[in-house]
Structure 1
Amino acid sequence: MKKVLFALTILSFMNLTHTMAQELQQTIRGKVIDQDSKISLPGANVIVIDSDPLLGSSTDINGEFRIGNVPVGRVSLKISYIGYEDRIIPNILVTSGKEVLLDIEVRESLISMDEIVITAGADKSEIANEMALISARGFTVEETKRYAGSFNDPARMVSGYAGVTGDASGNNFIVVRGNSPRGIQWRLEGIEIPNPNHFSDEGATGGPINALNSEMLANSEFYSGAFAPEYGNALSGVFDMQLRKGNNEQREYSASVGILGTGLSAEGPFVKGGRASFLVNYRYSTLSILNELGVVDFDGIPKYQDLSFKINVPTKTFGTFSVFGLGGKSNILESVYDEVDEDRLLSEGDYQANMGVAGITQYWSFGTKTYLRNSVSVSQNGSGYLGYEPDSQENLIRMDEANLDKKTIKLASTLNHKVNAKHNLQLGGIYTRHNFDFYSEYFDSSEDEFVIGQNMDGDAGHYQGFISWKYRPWEDFSIVSGLHAQSTTLNSNRFIEPRVSMRWELSPRQALTAGFGIHGKLESLTNYYSIVTDDNGNTSMPNMNLDFTKARHYVVGYENKLGENLLLKMEAYYQDLYNIPVEDLSTSSYSLINQVEWFTDRKVVNEGTGKNYGLELTLERYFDNNYFFLMTASLFDSKYRAMDNIERNTAFNGNYVGNFLFGKEFEISRKLGKKKVIGFNSKVSLQGARRYTPMDIQASIEQDEAIYYESEAFSKRGDDLFMANISVVYRIDRKKTSQELKLDIQNVTNNQARLDQYYDSDTKSVEYGYQLALLPVLTYTIHF
């Protein structure tokens, strides 16, 4: 669907004038735990590096620490504990409006500490999941805010990573290593969830606006291939997001007003002196508010709202419980008028989408080496559309209708046992039950009749199980091996997926990595229940026996810490895709490998193949001394074969992508009780054009629908894409408040690359899609 370009709205901002009579300070506190067993570590030392006088603390019997009187600004922590590798947490942003709460995981050393001290480098991208050794990247909440053009959205942020491209039309689809965005899996609190984006179609994994506010996120992880055994039902990438815990000692609040939404958040203890806490955020479309107030008035106002929360409840006997939720609702009413006669209505469309998930997780320790992680969640996601056109008497007649709704229950359990510092075992199972109600029809003007594409309600089950074993024979060598298995009640298909990866640290600064894995993904349920009409006009659902789409991932990598804060990383990969659903016709070029959203209207069989291979390069300077930079480059090729057995480019084969990101902060004022900082961030991207299939223009006009030259599938290229984004952040810290004013501008040069081709039934013409125009987003946030 077409995206609405948001207008820059002038907002009024608060000016707090109260001046405090002391230096700004804040508290850092948290918990230190074993990375494998998750048990707390009493007696660990936590210090603020380079503080004068030295600031630090030791953890108590619960593994908790508190460091008070930390100056506002950026600090780094060092954590040390006898028998464990030291860990450094670099460049923590300390503001006056909120305490800093951290959960810090440290790894047991294989070498006796009276012989040698092992110090882990200040690697910001280091991930918490010990079972993931390759093609994995950790990211912080601050990164989602810092990267220019990300709009505080993690999905847009990762487009700066090597091997990842975004969508230039304004959507936040994620293309990883030449794969369809449908290969992405979204996870929240360790549980697979529906697509968390507003205005999203069925089967899609992206959308214009993410429903999850970055203010809610803890440090999270992104995987781009050869996943650890615990990750199933994904082909190209996994977004594993964690919600942060609310402050369990004092109430804190935030409020923000911006072009993309107006939001409020609150956190704090349920009972003063208790250990349980809550965190909640609500956001509503700013343009919708302004429209309701009569400030703006134009067609196609995007309306959306979302709510997210987390309740953390530690217990003495049954471990720690977390209750979490995320919900989003969006709709847009679009009216299209004739370009010549602007009062003549051509069509009207009412689009709606919604998603929601709520769950409970439990971390339950058994002794010092074993813990059980249990979870249960319920979710709902759906999209609907009503399309109308006026008849000869200007009465609106329904021409399209769709309502695709799915409800899901998910049960999961993982047992983790740390045998010793060398061996760690993981065993888990996941059961998913989908209940769905799908209906879709449209009016075919060439046949002068309605065509039904979906008309089914029912249920389907999905079973997954996995086992992982991590073995560290030496301090500098780790290997993870295991199996993932899955099956579905839709048919009798079963699938076992072996995985193995290794990491060999050649020196304290260099490492080699390698990984192999077989991965399978269940197709969107709507593809199974597509109603297909044959040449004789008979209808059936021929895709009920579709198997899992599958891929073999091969990855090798090299890392070199060129300096204290400088990392060079290279990865080469090959992906052998098979069991791809393709049209069951010997002359057809049609393959679901190119599908982005919605569902197929053809009979497909698992006879297609594909391949992706490429080389990725990352040079990153972590934020230090008030600046950072990130350079990434990817060269890749993405091909497929359908039933015609001709090797073709996939829709996502841009062949190359390069990014350069740079950011710097300046402290412009520091007075008693007040500090001002301004930050500048930029991102420049250049990527190869996407592919598209040429359209038979005359036939499309005659039949009033898109007719393609399918024998020339994806033979055309759009324009290569250039994108420049900038952002400016102005932050003021006072004793009890922190304010931030941010201007984030996407496509600052207003480049207009031609992306693809489509048929416009309203104007009866073939049109081109273009890169999203210059988009400024202004946001004001206050923490108190």
Structure 2
Amino acid sequence: MGSTKLFIIFSFCIFTSPIFAQSTGTITGRVTDAKTGEPLIGATVVLEGTELGDATNPDGRFTIDDIPTKTYNVKASYVGFVTQTRFNVVVRSEGNIDLNFELEEQVSELDDVTITPNPFAKSQESPISIQKFSQEEITSYPGGNNDIAKVVQSLPGVSGSVGGFRNDVIIRGGAPNENVYYLDGVPIPNINHFSTQGSAGGPVSLLNVSFFEGVSLTASSFGAQYENVLSGVLQFNQRTGNDREFVGNLRLSSSEAALTVEGPLFKGNDTEAKTTYIASVRRSYLQLLFQVIGLPFLPDYWDYQYKINHRFDKYNTLYITGIGSIDDLAINDMDDLDPEQEATQNQIPVIRQNSNTVGIGWRRQFQDNSGFMETVVSNNTLGNFFYRYDDNVNETGLFLENESRETETHLRYRLTKFIDNWTATGGFQLINSDYYNSTRDFINNRSFRSDINFFRYGLFGQASADFLQNRLSFTMGLRADGNTFTETGNELWRTLSPRVGLAYDLTPDQKWTVNGSVGRYYKILPYTTLGFQDNVGNFPNKDTEYIRSDHAVVGLEYLLNERARISAEGFFKWYDDYPISTTDSVSLANKGGDFEVFGSEPVISAGQGRTYGLELLYQQKFTGKFYGVAAFTFYKSEFTNLRDAEYKPAVWDNGVLVSLLGGYKFGNNWEVSGRYRFLGKAPYAPVDQDKTEENYPAVFRDFDRLGTVRLDPLSQLDIRIDKKFNFDNLSLDVFLEVQNALAQEGPSEPRYGLERNESGEIITPRKLVQVSDSDDGQVLPSFGIVLNF
């Protein structure tokens, strides 16, 4: 939708909203015991600063009607349990999602000591390094475009790719493929469109934020149930569909349109259905925008997401969830190209990609409230068709072809038991891995076709408890993983991964807390590396080891009040058995930040690495008008290469990360928010000009010079203005966003192309010339609307 049409809609709503306005809304939800899942009958739910509230019924449900449409903090309390507050809850005339509370039992209270409820409380199995987002925080994030990968970059220790059309999540100096993603317990290989196979990234997220009840990020002290993680776990908790009526929303932005619908199934005459659904479809029109403004590539994508939930009874729940995408990165056939556009058109790959994940989960709560079991069966598939041509427009002169499919089928079982003050969890994971790859690489003289099928498996156990009247939290866990493909894959003692974490309240009022953890974690190499074959059909990477990473973290937190905190956390990560390319003599930790097929080359498990740093955080929850986050990170990330044992800076080694985020809510549902980011100078491997000139349009890097040159720092301010309108039977959110409001030049590497004459013809003999070395610092305004019905 064009900006003129959006401006007309925006103006129409402003001038007509007083006539058609609906000034009240309704919120509903449930209050349950966080440990057992049992409904808490008679719990009190109130809106701070008002006399509006309700008590929960026998199902734990509450309903608050006739609420003036604005933003509130909502508080739930119950005798014997810790009061919980949900901040920044926007009440609309339509489109309010269920507000669910899970209250922790209050073990004891000390006389003459006032304990301030902590809105930043950690989980027992991860007592440190965990951050959580609500749906509202994601949707209103300035510069985020409802993209969770961009939103998490406001947190300490988290950064993204500095240059290029990418969306990597880099946590504490680790490579993007060191993170794992879970959707309601279902593993997702990647969360981005046009992802780099074997790594991560991609330009835009494929997840629909309308599905989320919350998102949590863990940067260390990972629970033993998570496999293959070295840097971060992103857990997306999907909500269930509305069990009373059909509702939905339509979102239009500068790059895409998304429709989400939800409601009850087989409701009959019941007030609430036992079966619900929520489903969405999203369509990009970036390709149309890029064609109009004259960019040389056209990203075109679809994605879809769904969840069906069925309650057999109060103890048994079954859900089916899935997500998928269809991506096509085509070349824009332009007649008049400047040298930079021509170089981009020549060098960008042609990508056609599709992905699909589906999972079925069954959760059974034991009737005596002594625990629960959870079984999840899932399947994920990625089809990647990757081509490079001498002539991208006509797709002639093929010099690299990679056609592959990777499929995983997972069985995950977890049993949790409550024994006195202990919570014990154990289970197993079994994965069937199927990988097919057909590669023709004429530049490096490689041609192979591999088709492998093998099993991966893991066993885990974890125990957590609180002591000293809840002032000390302690957790310990153990995991071991194996596989039937690599030569030492069945030697489980090689991957024993213990972990221990604790948090201790230094003062009886629980305002000062010290925490720490140590742990060892393992990750198997990606299928692109395991499935690589040499020209005689051997698998040279079968003798590789799991990557090992040892973490040590210590932190201190001070709770200023019930909605603000400051914290400091230091971390150190050691890496061993990191794969090093025998072709480029560089650690794979320094690859994967481009649109290539990551890791499809011979490697040896001979690398080491280390990342260490200090994170400082101030966080202010919504107070009635203002909210804000200030995060500062100072760190170092470096890895060894093949030729010597010296540590060289990683391509993610920015050194300094600064993120400032804040918002202010005015009357009449107006809001202004902003985000400022600063990333220090990141090193990069410069182009090997002689080799690139010989093989152009293939581009080669000189990894021996990695760390000798760095990009300029990134400094960017994004501003967003939101206005919410409420009508009878629908509500409308309208926003104006300005990215790079200060028109700062973005850091970018020098780009090279072949020297051409005034007619655009290549001059012979061929000569490589620099065509660009900086961003022009454009201000990028955009409009968007969300219609809730």
Tell me if 1:596 matches 2:598: no
State the distance in 2 between where 1:419 and 1:581 align: 42
Q: Which moved more, 1:433-442 or 1:497-506?
A: 433-442
Equivalent in the alignment of 1:109: 106
Match of 2:705 among 704, 709, 712: 712
Taking a change above 3 Å as real, the CA distance of residues 602 and 387 of structure 1, as seen in their structure-2 partners, is: closer
Equivalent in the alignment of 2:693: 701
Match of 1:546 among 541, 544, 552: 544
Equivalent in the alignment of 1:563: 561
Shift of 1:490: 1.5
Tell me if 1:666 matches 2:666: yes
State the distance in 1 between where 2:145 and 2:348 align: 30
Match of 2:144 among 150, 169, 181: 150
Equivalent in the alignment of 2:415: 415
* 1:121-132 → structure 2 map (5 Å cutoff): 121=117, 123=119, 125-126=120-121, 129-132=123-126
Q: Which runs of 5+ in 2 are unaligned?
A: 757-767
State the distance in 2 between where 1:482 and 1:327 align: 33
Shift of 1:654: 1.0
Asked if the contact 2:279/2:306 (under 8 Å) is kept, the reply is: yes
Equivalent in the alignment of 1:93: 90
Equivalent in the alignment of 2:449: 455
State the distance in 2 between where 1:189 and 1:757 align: 43
Asked if the contact 1:87/1:119 (under 8 Å) is kept, the reply is: no
Taking a change above 3 Å as real, the CA distance of residues 544 and 211 of structure 1, as seen in their structure-2 partners, is: same
Equivalent in the alignment of 2:158: 164
Asked if the contact 1:649/1:715 (under 8 Å) is kept, the reply is: no
Equivalent in the alignment of 1:527: 529
Question: Which SS does the other structure have where 1:472 is aligned?
Answer: strand
Instruction: Name the structure with the higher strand share.
Output: 1
State the distance in 2 between where 1:460 and 1:414 align: 23
Amino acid at match of 2:516: A
Shift of 1:440: 2.2
Question: Which SS does the other structure have where 1:195 is aligned?
Answer: coil
Question: Which SS does the other structure have where 1:102 is aligned?
Answer: coil
Equivalent in the alignment of 1:503: 503
Alpha-carbon RMSD: 3.0
Amino acid at match of 1:592: L
Equivalent in the alignment of 1:325: 322
Question: Which SS does the other structure have where 1:159 is aligned?
Answer: helix
Asked if the contact 1:13/1:780 (under 8 Å) is kept, the reply is: no
Q: Which moved more, 1:134-143 or 1:314-323?
A: 314-323
Amino acid at match of 1:121: P
Amino acid at match of 2:88: N
Match of 1:212 among 187, 207, 212: 207
Taking a change above 3 Å as real, the CA distance of residues 707 and 193 of structure 1, as seen in their structure-2 partners, is: closer
Taking a change above 3 Å as real, the CA distance of residues 348 and 162 of structure 1, as seen in their structure-2 partners, is: closer
Equivalent in the alignment of 1:692: 684
Shift of 1:776: 2.9
Asked if the contact 1:182/1:595 (under 8 Å) is kept, the reply is: no
Taking a change above 3 Å as real, the CA distance of residues 20 and 774 of structure 1, as seen in their structure-2 partners, is: closer
Question: Which SS does the other structure have where 2:383 is aligned?
Answer: strand
CA distances 1:84-116 after superposition (whole Å, capped 9, x unpaired): 222222332211112330221111222279x79
State the distance in 1 between where 2:718 and 2:546 align: 39
Asked if the contact 1:306/1:329 (under 8 Å) is kept, the reply is: yes
State the distance in 2 between where 1:478 and 1:191 align: 28
Equivalent in the alignment of 1:517: 519
State the distance in 2 between where 1:424 and 1:384 align: 46
Taking a change above 3 Å as real, the CA distance of residues 181 and 266 of structure 1, as seen in their structure-2 partners, is: same
Amino acid at match of 1:182: N
Equivalent in the alignment of 1:752: 745
Equivalent in the alignment of 1:671: none
Taking a change above 3 Å as real, the CA distance of residues 317 and 150 of structure 1, as seen in their structure-2 partners, is: closer
State the distance in 1 between where 2:195 and 2:154 align: 22
Asked if the contact 1:94/1:100 (under 8 Å) is kept, the reply is: no
Asked if the contact 1:30/1:66 (under 8 Å) is kept, the reply is: yes
Aligned residues: 750
State the distance in 2 between where 1:18 and 1:709 align: 60
* 1:46-65 → structure 2 map (5 Å cutoff): 46-52=45-51, 55-65=52-62
Q: Which moved more, 1:473-482 or 1:164-173?
A: 164-173
Shift of 1:347: 8.0
Equivalent in the alignment of 2:231: 236
State the distance in 1 between where 2:237 and 2:278 align: 13
State the distance in 1 between where 2:26 and 2:220 align: 38
State the distance in 1 between where 2:65 and 2:786 align: 25
Shift of 1:579: 1.1
Equivalent in the alignment of 1:139: 133
CA distances 1:347-366 after superposition (whole Å, capped 9, x unpaired): 89531122111111122111
Asked if the contact 1:682/1:726 (under 8 Å) is kept, the reply is: yes
Amino acid at match of 2:386: Y
Asked if the contact 1:258/1:286 (under 8 Å) is kept, the reply is: no
Question: Which SS does the other structure have where 1:134 is aligned?
Answer: coil
Equivalent in the alignment of 2:761: none
Equivalent in the alignment of 1:250: 245
Tell me if 1:641 matches 2:640: yes
Asked if the contact 2:382/2:407 (under 8 Å) is kept, the reply is: yes
Asked if the contact 1:87/1:120 (under 8 Å) is kept, the reply is: no
Tell me if 1:430 matches 2:429: yes
Shift of 1:458: 2.1
Shift of 1:28: 2.0
Equivalent in the alignment of 1:724: 717
Shift of 1:231: 2.1
* 1:324-403 → structure 2 map (5 Å cutoff): 324-335=321-332, 339=337, 350-367=350-367, 368-390=369-391, 396-403=396-403
Asked if the contact 2:21/2:725 (under 8 Å) is kept, the reply is: no
State the distance in 1 between where 2:501 and 2:102 align: 22
Question: Which SS does the other structure have where 2:298 is aligned?
Answer: coil
Asked if the contact 1:347/1:762 (under 8 Å) is kept, the reply is: no
State the distance in 1 between where 2:543 and 2:460 align: 24
Asked if the contact 2:567/2:617 (under 8 Å) is kept, the reply is: yes
Asked if the contact 2:503/2:516 (under 8 Å) is kept, the reply is: yes
Match of 1:271 among 255, 262, 266: 266
The alignment-based identity, stated in percent, is 22
Question: Which SS does the other structure have where 1:458 is aligned?
Answer: strand
Question: Which SS does the other structure have where 1:755 is aligned?
Answer: coil
CA distances 1:382-405 after superposition (whole Å, capped 9, x unpaired): 2212333359xx993333322121
Equivalent in the alignment of 1:13: 9
Taking a change above 3 Å as real, the CA distance of residues 364 and 431 of structure 1, as seen in their structure-2 partners, is: same
Equivalent in the alignment of 1:464: 458
State the distance in 2 between where 1:334 and 1:224 align: 38
State the distance in 2 between where 1:699 and 1:285 align: 37
Q: Which moved more, 1:771-780 or 1:469-478?
A: 771-780
Shift of 1:659: 1.4
Q: Which runs of 5+ in 1 are unaligned?
A: 1-5, 668-675
Equivalent in the alignment of 2:37: 38
State the distance in 2 between where 1:346 and 1:112 align: 69
State the distance in 2 between where 1:761 and 1:591 align: 30
State the distance in 2 between where 1:773 and 1:19 align: 37
Asked if the contact 1:201/1:353 (under 8 Å) is kept, the reply is: no
Shift of 1:601: 5.2
Taking a change above 3 Å as real, the CA distance of residues 642 and 80 of structure 1, as seen in their structure-2 partners, is: same
Shift of 1:520: 0.8
CA distances 1:486-507 after superposition (whole Å, capped 9, x unpaired): 1112123331100111111123
State the distance in 2 between where 1:348 and 1:23 align: 50
Asked if the contact 1:195/1:355 (under 8 Å) is kept, the reply is: no
State the distance in 2 between where 1:245 and 1:351 align: 34
Question: Which SS does the other structure have where 2:666 is aligned?
Answer: strand
